[in-house]
Amino acid sequence: MFTLEQIEVAHAKTKSGADFPQYIREIKELGVTRFQTFVTDCHSVYSGGDGFQIQSWPQYESIKINSTLDVERFKKWLKDNQEWKNNFYEFCTIFAESGIAYWIMDLEDMTCTYYDIYNNSILTEVVPS
């Protein structure tokens, strides 16, 4: 199975939006089938076959998630991040302020779905490949 170090090495190569599809291909080749990232501290849980999972360390101090969802703000800032206008901390902070609690990247379906604190699906996007 894959290791957290392998995932981090692949992620370190991602310098722009143009690099993101290669990152996804690389971790998929490692055996990652999905990962869930929690906005509260930006840690992720990576899943593979046979129920294998590993968890990253928290990236930041705890970020409070707004209980009121602001979908338009979220969508605007998501677009900005996809154009690499924000760093990862800003990305997570903006999502928290917009009411996004976590997202799930499904590498089998090649989708990314964002959820609020009530586990409601807010938006599903196709992951570029």
CATH number of the domain within which 113 lies: 3.30.1810.10
Q: Which residues pair with 44 in a beta bridge?
A: 37
Give the total residue count for the chain. Answer: 129
* Number of domains, the chain: 1
Quote the pLDDT of residue 83: 66
What is the full DSSP assignment across 54-106? EEPPP-SS--PPPSS--HHHHHHHHHHHHTT-S-HHHHHHHHHHHTEEEEEEE
- Give the global pTM: 0.90
Burial class (CB in 10 A: 0-12, 13-18, 19+), 32: buried
pLDDT in tens, 77-109: 887 766 666 677 888 888 999 999 999 999 999
Structural domain boundaries, residue 99: 4-126
